[in-house]
Amino acid sequence: MRNGEVSATRDRERGVSDGAAVEVTGLTVTYGSTTVLDGVGLRVPVGAVVALTGENGVGKSTLLRCVTGLQAPSGGVVTVFGAAPDQGAGFWRQVATTVESPTWYHGLTVREHLELVRVANGGDPADGRVDEVSGLLGITGLADSLPITLSSGQRQRFLLAATFVRPSRLLVLDEPEQRLDVGAKRALAGHLRDYLATGGTLLMASHDEQFWRDVGADEVVLSRPEG
């Protein structure tokens, strides 16, 4: 599917809500004389999963940044659960994202970071969620490591873990499968399916067709603005 048209038929088959978790209307983003997104529309119903695809440079990450309020659009309207993404505490209690990496504290270990993220977002660091997510992503053995010592693949797993330990209703993920091996991708896809089964909503950008199909996503293809 193109231009943000998510299949209503498939949503009904899944029992997805008619309410919109994400609604984007006429979204335009320009940098100087360069237009990255031009009048893009997108609607992601509550409980749905959408994968943004397309070649590099078509604005997938930019769209995700606008949805999470990390970037102001040049034109158009973006709402998340019916309100503008305002960057307030209430917004971040509903939305978790990998679009922008958090600031890591040099003196804290991987485990300490995950516990801090959990408690800072209203969770209980001792409720087993940190252990569950660490096991899922294969980073249990890195609990006492400092983030600066991690390889790129380990950092990707750590970033995902820090996202998943936060309570959320909407996940906004930018190529979550990158730098993961086949087994880790399979485990991640399973976790995301479980998240959706419990009522969560997922919007992601992906270059890996097998991965987003394993998650069960509807595809929205972005292309470069004409002219």
Q: 165: domain CATH number?
A: 3.40.50.300
Question: How far is residue 201's CA from residue 198's CA, in Å, rounded to a whole number?
Answer: 9
Within-domain flag for 187: yes
Q: Structural domain of residue 201, as residue ranges?
A: 20-103+161-220
Instruction: Report the 10 Å Cβ neighbour count for 195.
Output: 17
| Residue-wise pLDDT tens digits, 209-220 | 999 999 999 999
Q: What's residue 89's pLDDT?
A: 80
Work out the pLDDT band at 18, boundaries 50, 70, 90: low
**Alpha helix ranges (H) inside the chain:** 8-14, 60-67, 89-92, 110-120, 129-136, 152-164, 182-197, 209-215
- pLDDT at position 16 is 53
Residue with tokens 């973006």: 78
Give domain status of residue 227, yes or no. no
50 in a structural domain: yes
- Examine residue 113 and state whether it is found in any structural domain, yes or no: no
Q: What is the pLDDT of residue 226?
A: 76
Residue 191: pLDDT above 60?
Answer: yes
Nearest residue to 167 (alpha-carbon basis) of 118, 128, 106? 118
pLDDT beyond 50 at 81: yes
Phi (first) and psi of residue 180, to 5 degrees: -105, 145
Residue 204 covered by a domain: yes
- Average pLDDT value for residue range 168-182: 95
Q: Which of 211, 107, 218, 209 is nearest to 160 (CA)?
A: 211
Q: Which two tokens stand for residue 39?
A: 């009048």
The whole-number average pLDDT for the span 45-57 is 96
Q: Which residues contact 48 (CB under 8 A, 6 or more apart)?
A: 6, 11, 14, 16, 21, 201, 202, 218
> What total of structural domains would you count in the chain?
1
For the record, the structure tokens of 8 come out as 């209503």
